[in-house]
Amino acid sequence: MKIIATAAFALTFAAAFPALAVEVRVMSAGAVEPGLRAAAEAFQTTTGHTVSIRFGTSPQLQTRLGAGEAADVLIGPEPVMRTARAAGKTDASSAALGRVGVGVVIRRGAQKPDVSGAESLERAMAAADEIVFNRASTGAHVESVLKASGLEQSLASKTVRTENGEAVFVRLKQASPRAFGFAAMTEIRQAAPEGMDLVGPAPGKYQNYTTYLAARFTGAPPAASEFLTFLNGPQGRAALASGGVETP
């Protein structure tokens, strides 16, 4: 009888908890951090799984992938995902997670540049003491527009490049009141408590939406697929949107 009772308890336990909670490891671009953290918290509450996320810029993700680093889920722009697919690190398919635009940022109390149009912004850049942007996706776009517009040389003496969005904000805190920068809209919102203000979306040709994709690493546990499904479901989409990640 004791053996039968024990077996019955085991069956009941297995039915109530069909899968043990596991950790889902995520490598992600930093621009989606606020929304992704909110989505991960909702997923953990719903499923009991835990999610650990390591963020980085697109160049940093490329370097880490090249060095052999792996996880369960990869989130990044198309160049990063292409590298991972080509190396056989992730599944062939990937899903669009959301998109993030470029914003113009100042430290609180600094002079606000005119962002009503591309020409107004260029006049503001000519009058600024310093223009700060990163070396990741956002900064790469700004750099390409300055080159195409023939402004790279004339603005070179006042242009400061940083490793990532966080470093943009650190630099602006130390700069003159006539300095401003470019950063991902999501990162600017996240830095508001630290004294950063969003002037507005970058206008015209200076605006660029980076679409972020998500894929499962080869050999990742089933929970990784659960997380990807959750991110593209109603709860996940709402959490991402709360952090400024727009539906693609």
Two tokens, residue 99 = 């998109």
Mark whether 192 and 128 lie in a shared domain: yes
Distance of alpha carbon 210 from alpha carbon 77, whole angstroms: 7
* 86 burial level (CB within 10 Å; 0-12, 13-18, 19+): exposed
Shared domain check, 95 and 19: yes
Do 55 and 175 share a domain, yes or no? no
Tens of each residue's pLDDT in the chain, 248 residues? 444 444 444 444 334 444 588 999 999 999 999 999 999 999 999 999 999 999 998 899 999 999 999 999 999 999 999 999 999 999 988 899 999 999 999 999 999 999 999 999 999 999 999 999 999 889 999 999 999 999 999 999 999 999 999 999 999 999 999 999 999 999 999 999 999 999 999 999 999 999 999 999 999 999 999 999 999 999 999 999 999 899 88
Q: Which domain holds residue 133?
A: 102-206
Q: How far apart are CA 68 and CA 90, in angstroms?
A: 12
User: Do 115 and 188 have their domain in common?
Assistant: yes
Give just the sign of the alpha carbon dihedral 154, 160, 163, 168: negative
Distances in Å between the alpha carbon of 183 and those of 56, 101, 151, 233? 15, 9, 19, 28
**For residues 219 and 185, what is the distance between their CA atoms, to the nearest angstrom?**
34
3-state secondary structure of 240: helix
Q: Check whether residue 155 and residue 183 sit in a common domain.
A: yes
Residue 84 lies in a domain: yes
Report pTM: 0.79
